[in-house]
Each structure stands twice: as structure tokens, then as C-alpha cells.
Structure 1
Amino acid sequence: MLDGLETAPLFAGIALAVLVGWGAFRLFLTSYRYLRASPLQRSRMRHAWSVSLRWRRLAPNLGLARIDENSKGKTGIDGKTVKPTVVVPKMIVHPEPWGLRAVVKTIPKVGIEEFEKAAGWLADAWQCESVEVKRIKAGQIEVRGLVGDPLAEHHPYAWPDGKTWALPIGRNPWGREIIIPLRELSGIKIAGMPGFGKTMLELAWFAALSPRPEVQFAVFDGKTSDPRYGDWGEVAQRAMFIVGDNPEAAHQRLVELVRLIKDRPAALVAERGTHKFWKLGPTVENPLVIVVMDECHNYIDAGGLRGKDKELIEANQRLMRTISKEGRGLGVLPIVATQKQTSDAIPTGVRDNLEVGVCFATFTLDGAEAALGSGIRKDEPNQPTEFVDKASAVGLCVVTGVPGLGGRYSRIRVGDVNEDQVVQLARGSAHLCRYVIPAPAPIVRDVSASSTE
């Protein structure tokens, strides 16, 4: 039998052969993938390899490495002080169509905050347009390097499949399609300067839901006095009603929508045995009612008004608050758009109750904050004040409140909407339009105290 001294070289040889075989297999697999890849994929692979090879030298220069305290003051056999050990976070770099994605295992004193502070330097070192950092789980973060500007690339609007209750917006910088789930949604607020895409996105949503008989529309077009000649005139046949910029006419329709909300619980119980709209979802009998208010400030801005005019606007504000607060669970969804979502244009009781925020180009952070929340001030890469160049920024927006974003902000390139297709979808489904608002209850007089003579 072989003793331990004789078997040791044998096991060492086997281990070495296994390591060499594994390395050869990895090299073959990588070479095969590289040869089969497209020119763009090969470029991304070479970029990822370069970043990975230079990481151990780069990390200490950016403050993303630490000296092992336990190695300080150590001496070698010769009595000389040994150089302290530098600990570098382990990083695995993956090529992506939009750039590269690095998964990093954090070390003590080098975590997500340190990587966020060094994001600008990482972008320069990695030759990326920008770098974004997010936590995957405890002890692990993801660093994404964006090469070029994918948001500058136009693409067709992604029409929904007609099976899920969701509204597409567009693509984020990483090529992911962002959608807004409608289930239990309280509402959507849209802000931004004129001419950058607010109304076109609303029209795309209108057309996307038009072929569904379980959806009805109420439209308030605050851009024009006669809605027949405005942006919404060509799709008017699919809406229960369309109102121009007259606050008094809008008031009458808002009263009807509030009456629908108040009467709907009884209608739901009669149809399905429960007042919870989203338990079974929209039906033809009790459809999802989309309330579109384009340039809503014309109906609810009381600035400079007095007397009866002010009373009318304040009444509209109260009705809008009811719709935004009570519509969610009863299938009435407001989509409210105005150029600047500040409190002088839209009451905070309405604005702050609409959970999804969409903001196109705006000149001031105050305007962005009104639509997206105070957190946008700290998120410089996603501030919509960067989108003011009309030559390139039409169709660019920032969104928040969408499930899957983790409460963060995301830049979006809205897909290019074919206006002829919008009109075709709306007019082709005009026969599905139904007026679902119940008639007002009859006035009942109390005659118990009247004379019987």
C-alpha cells in the first residue's frame, strides 16, 4: 500500500489537472461565446474584461478599498515590517447591451454610500456616460455603467396586449419596458412644459384602453374652449363626454363623476356580491372609468378669483379631492396633467394622493419636486431640468411611484406614438362607448309635518 508521502504528489497532480481542465473549459466557453457574438456584443465583452482586469488597481485610488487593520505592524521572519494587506471588494463584471453590470461584494467601510460617492469617477475610469448604484441584498450591490445614451434612441410605442390591466410608458436607460399597473391605483399626475409629450402620452393610454369594453372615459380638455377642435376632438366618439376649458361645464361633469362614486358600491354588490371593485376587476356593467384632466389648472386654480367665480373653483377642488381619494377602490381613475403641479395650480389634497408621478421637461426643481416628491432634489442624474433641449428631449420623462422601482426615480424614453393609429383605435371602438353614470336620485319631500286638511 502507498503511504501518505507517496500519495500526496498523486493527489496534487489530480487537483492540478482538474484546475487546468476547468480553466481550459472556461477559456473555450468564453472564446466560443465571443466568436458567436455580434460586433456590439464583442465590444461590450472586451469592455467588461478591461474593467475587471483593472479593478484591483483602480479601487484603492478611488477610496473603494481598505487596509486590513489586522495586518498592520506585522513583521516577517527577517524581522522587517511587512506591508499591510489591501482588501479590495470582489467584483464580477457582466457585459450588457447598454454597457456593463458589475456585482460587488461589499467589505467593512466600503458599501453602497462609498460607491455612490465615487460614481462619477467610476464613469470616467470605465469610459461610461453615467454610473448608477443600487443594493441587491445585504452585503451585495450592483453597479451599472451606461455606455452612450440609449435614451436618445427612438422606438415605437409598445401597445399593451389587451389582457393585463397596465399602461406602458416607455423604456428606461437599461432597455426595460416600464408599465403602470392599474390595479388599486389611486391615480397618475403628469407635469412638464408644453410641447414635450404630456398630451401625446395621455392619448396613447386612451387608445391603448379603447378596444376594451370594460373601460369608459371622461375627458376634460383644458387647452381649448371648444373640445371638438382640440387634441381630443378626433377621439371624442370613444368618450362618455368631453368638456372644454369652461369651469362651470366641468363642475357639472365632476358632480356626475362623484355621483358615480357614491352610487357604485351598491351597483357592485348587486352585480358581484362585494363592493370591492378590484376583487373581480372591471366589467361591462361596472367598467373602469378613466378621468383625463388635461391642463387641469383651468378648472381648479382659484388664483385672483373672487365671489361666485372663486366659489365655483373651490367646489371643483372639493369634487376633485373626492375623486382622487375615493375613486381607487371603486374603479374611477384620475389622470391629471398640468404644466406645473405646484399648489397654486392643483390642490395638494389632490396632487399628493395620486401615487404615480410623471414629469417631462421643467426649468425649475420646484416644478419637478411638485410632481415627483422632494427626493428628486438629491437625485441629480434623474432631474427633469436636464431635459429642456427640445431638439432632443421631446418624449423624455422621469417617473416615480411605479411598482418595481423601489420608490426611486427612473428616466424614460416614451415610445414614438403614431397619431393615425391613436385615431384609428379610438374611432374603431366608438361602438363600445356607454354612458355609465347613474341618473340623479329623485327629490323626496318630507310631508309628515304638512297639514292633512
Structure 2
Amino acid sequence: MSATDSLSIAPLVAVLALVVLAAWGAARLFLATYRYIRATPWQRARMRHAWAVSRRWRRLAPNLGLARVDENTKGRKDWNGKVAKPVVVVPKIRVFPEPWGIRAVIRTIPKVGIAEVEKAGTWLADSWGCQSVEVKRLAAGLVEVRGIVGDPLDSHQPYVWPADDEWVLPLGHNPWGRQLAIPLRQLSGIKVAGLPGYGKTMLMLAWMASLAGRAAVQFAIFDGKTSDARYGDWGEVGSRAMFVVGDNPETANQRLTELVRLLKDRPAALVEERGTHKFWKQGPTPANPLVVVVMDECHNYADTKGLSGKDKQVIESNQRLMQTISKEGRGLGVLGIFGTQKQTGDAIPTSVRDNLEVGVCFPVFTIDAAEAALGSGIRKDEPNDPSVLVDKENNVGVCVVTGVPGLGGRYDRVRIGDLDEDQLPAFVASTSHLRRDVIPAAAPTVVDASTVQADKPAGTSVPTQKTTRRRKSA
């Protein structure tokens, strides 16, 4: 092909390229217009918000330190020999409307990454007209910024009950409208903290109700809020539990001892039933059910402050037994849920608390209390700090969770689903026919024959051993 032919084809190629670009732009405009027309007024407001954020980004980014001067263009001269202005590189952004606000995906550039975006988070929220923003690394070179408009946790939704084949404990919805739940498979335990009156007990009662209709689940309840368990929050659902005890540490010690005995006997029972000691390989069955141990206000069973002598020995024994349940229960189908107002070392042994992988914290007064329940990382996550939620008018039923799948070790706020407090106890009581006492009988007590002989008068027969067995009534 000659040079003349090439020059004659060039304008045609340019025209075709312009036509393709025009068609592509027209298609995008048509699609955006179609979506806007079909959207509801509320959705249109979100779309306009996203467009405005995208349009203003090139002016906003340099003012927030989210743009950089290209060092390669410094000192460069133009065609006239004058020094030209260096090029300012602005990260590319795509903004999407969401039900809870806007979602922006930013492509990072050198010296502008997730750390710089997090640092500018407060300014981004103000500039974008958002209540708060959350920054997350999507992949190499991509940062996601979620901006919440208003407070989605103000909206109330019904509590979502799990399906019969789901082994989860539902929580509620987070600021992004996503329903969160705690998987029970291989779960070491749950710690629940928070000030009185914000929903700790109601959430744990909801968990009991969500599992109460299954014959493969049994409950052991320790109600540390009342001396007589019949007249507390848990007394109304006590007919579904193997037992309910009050705040007496000695009575609790007896029941904790029985639960540890169940743990020690469980491997043999599992092997006899299914040929393996691994509980979750086949899951709970009526013969070997999941045993949910709820200790509400557990500090009444574990706090040794001001005690001495026998009383202190009982509490220390309780601590050891609670530790055994938290450390050995995961693989044997015994799940501990430990609730107290402040998950500090005096309220719950740290050897127990630090072994519980899921943390749920309702509003607390101090960041130290939040750290005890959720870990040290909560100090760096100001938007999810439970100590800023102490507003009983608006935040009853709002908590902060960690250890839940999908959070990646981070934190999230959750509003617990609405429950009917009057119907909940009646529903649990209606499943009382599924209650079974699965705690094994105590081992025989062997009495030394020589001791018996010393106590017997001369000439009487002396047994070689004497055994007694104490069995629990169903």
C-alpha cells in the first residue's frame, strides 16, 4: 500500500473511531436515563448523589491530599521554552448508589493508598454529605469507601429466625442492611457485654428461642441476676432447660461440675454413636445434642474480690470449670455464652474470655470496657466504638460485634431484630417436651476397705469395697 493510500484511509479510520465513541457514549447515556426513569424518587436521590460525588472528585481530591504531583513532569518546558506546570495525578474513582448511601471504588496511585484515604475519611464524609464513611481494601490497587447517608440503624426490622437446617444464631442488620448471624459449627463460645437495659438478656433469650424447637439442642442456664431462678428472666423459659440455677456460687459449682463431666464422657458417647469423637462431623443429634450453656451476669460466679476461705475456693473452682468448658467444648458440642456488664478480668477469667472467638458488646461507658469485650483493635475503630452509643432513647438493641464471618476480624454495628417480649417465653415453654437431661451419672465412689474395717466392731464382716452411685432424675 502506497503512502497516498494510507493518507486517504486515515480520515476514514478517524471517522469510524468517532462513530464508535459516540455510539458508546449514547448507549451509556440511554442506559443511565432508563435506570433513572425506572427508579423510585428515593433511588433517584441516591443516583444524583453518586453523580455529584463523581463529578466533584477531581477538585476535591487535591484539597484532601489524595492527589500527587507527577515528579517526572517537574521542570519540563513547553514548545516555547517556558517551564510548564507539573501534572497533578488524581486517582480514578467510580461511584455507585446504594440503599444506605454511596459506594466509591478508588484506584490507588503511588503515595495515595488506603492509609491516606482512611486519614481523610472524616473530611470525605463531610464533603460527600454522609453520616460516616468506612474504608476497606478490596484488592491490590483498589480501595472501597462506603458512605452512609443518615443512620440506617434507626430503622427497625423483625428478628430473622434461622431455617431448620441452619446452625446459626441470628443477630440483626448492620448499617449496610445486611443480616448477620453467628455460625455454631466449631464455635468456641460467645462473650456478651453491655450496660443494663440495652438488650443483652433479650438477645440471649432470642438465641434460645431460635434453637428451642430442635430436639438436638439442650440448654443449661445460669441466671446470675436473681437468687431464685424461678422469678428471673430465665425462669419463664426454664421448662425447656436441663436446669436453671440462680446466683448462688455453690449451686453453680455443682452444675458446672456436671457439665465438665459431660465433656469428659462425650468422646466415648460420640464414638459409640457415630464412630468418631468429632462432634461437628455429623452434627448434633437427640442422643448427643448441642448443649448451650448460658451464663447471664457470670461475674457472680467468677469474681473473687473481697472473698476468702471456703467462699474463695468455690469461686476459684468455678473459674477452672468455666475455663474447661470454654477450651474443650468447641469440638464436643458444648457451647458457652458468657454475659456480663463489663468483660474485665475480675468479672470473667481472662483464660475464658480470651478463648471466646465472637464478641458482642452493647453500649458501655468506657473504651476500656469495650476493649475487654471486643479486643484492642476497637480503640482504632472510632465509628464502631460502643462507648459512643450510650443513648438509651435511640440505641437500645444496638451492639458492636466481632468474630463474625464476613468481617475479616473487623467490627460492625448491628441493630437486633425486633422481638415480641410477651410471646417469646410462651413460645420457648411450648417446646418443653423436647427437654432431656443428657448429663451422665456420677462415677462410682470407691471406699477404702481398711478405713471401713477400722470403723467396724470386731467380729463383723468387712466388704472389700463399697460403691455408691448418684443418678439425676430426668
Tell me the equivalent position of 2:374.
Answer: 372
2:359, 2:401 within 8 Å by CA — same for their partners in 1? yes
Deviation at 1:164, TM superposition (A): 1.0
Tell me the equivalent position of 2:80.
Answer: 78
Indicate the RMSD between aligned Cα atoms, in angstroms. 1.6
Tell me the equivalent position of 1:100.
Answer: 102
Query: What is the CA deviation profile of residues 65-97 of structure 1, one whole-angstrom value per residue up to 9, with x for unaligned ones?
Result: 000111111101100111111101110000000
Tell me the equivalent position of 2:428.
Answer: 426
Tell me the equivalent position of 1:110.
Answer: 112
User: Could you tell me which amino acid in structure 2 is paired with residue 277 of structure 1?
Assistant: F
Unaligned runs of 5+ in 2: 454-461, 465-474
CA distance in 2: counterparts of 1:381 and 1:128, whole angstroms: 13
Q: Alignment partner of 1:7: what SS?
A: helix
CA distance in 2: counterparts of 1:233 and 1:256, whole angstroms: 20
CA distance in 2: counterparts of 1:369 and 1:234, whole angstroms: 33
Query: What is the CA deviation profile of residues 84-142 of structure 1, one whole-angstrom value per residue up to 9, with x for unaligned ones?
Result: 11101110000000000001110000000000000000001000001110101111110
Q: Please tell me whether residue 23 in structure 1 is matched to residue 19 in structure 2.
A: no
Tell me the equivalent position of 1:326.
Answer: 328
1:119, 1:131 within 8 Å by CA — same for their partners in 2? yes
Q: Which aligned pairs between 1:234-249 and structure 2 lie closer than 5 A?
A: 234-249=236-251
1:211, 1:425 within 8 Å by CA — same for their partners in 2? no
CA distance in 2: counterparts of 1:65 and 1:421, whole angstroms: 57
Deviation at 1:446, TM superposition (A): 6.6
CA distance in 1: counterparts of 2:142 and 2:449, whole angstroms: 74
User: Could you tell me which amino acid in structure 1 is paired with residue 431 of structure 2?
Assistant: S
Q: Which moved more, 1:295-304 or 1:420-429?
A: 420-429
Query: Of the candidates 204, 207, 212, which is equivalent to residue 206 of structure 2?
Result: 204
Tell me the equivalent position of 2:62.
Answer: 60
User: Could you tell me which amino acid in structure 1 is paired with residue 97 of structure 2?
Assistant: P
444 and 452 in structure 1: CA distance in 2 versus 1, 3 angstrom threshold? closer
CA distance in 2: counterparts of 1:213 and 1:106, whole angstroms: 53
Query: Of the candidates 220, 227, 230, which is equivalent to residue 229 of structure 2?
Result: 227
Query: What is the CA deviation profile of residues 40-83 of structure 1, one whole-angstrom value per residue up to 9, with x for unaligned ones?
Result: 11000000000000000100000000001111111011001111
Percent identity at matched positions? 70
Q: Alignment partner of 1:84: what SS?
A: coil
CA distance in 2: counterparts of 1:164 and 1:141, whole angstroms: 33
Deviation at 1:443, TM superposition (A): 2.4
Q: Please tell me whether residue 436 in structure 1 is matched to residue 448 in structure 2.
A: no
CA distance in 2: counterparts of 1:51 and 1:358, whole angstroms: 35
Tell me the equivalent position of 1:381.
Answer: 383
Deviation at 1:448, TM superposition (A): 11
User: Could you tell me which amino acid in structure 1 is paired with residue 61 of structure 2?
Assistant: A
Unaligned runs of 5+ in 1: none
2:384, 2:411 within 8 Å by CA — same for their partners in 1? yes
Tell me the equivalent position of 2:152.
Answer: 150
Deviation at 1:452, TM superposition (A): 10
Q: Which aligned pairs between 1:46-445 and structure 2 lie closer than 5 A?
A: 46-444=48-446
1:48, 1:100 within 8 Å by CA — same for their partners in 2? yes
User: Could you tell me which amino acid in structure 1 is paired with residue 217 of structure 2?
Assistant: V
CA distance in 1: counterparts of 2:7 and 2:463, whole angstroms: 122
CA distance in 1: counterparts of 2:274 and 2:360, whole angstroms: 34
TM-score norm. by structure 2 comes to: 0.93
Q: Alignment partner of 2:24: what SS?
A: helix
Aligned residues: 453
Dislocated runs of 4+, deviation >2 Å: 443-453
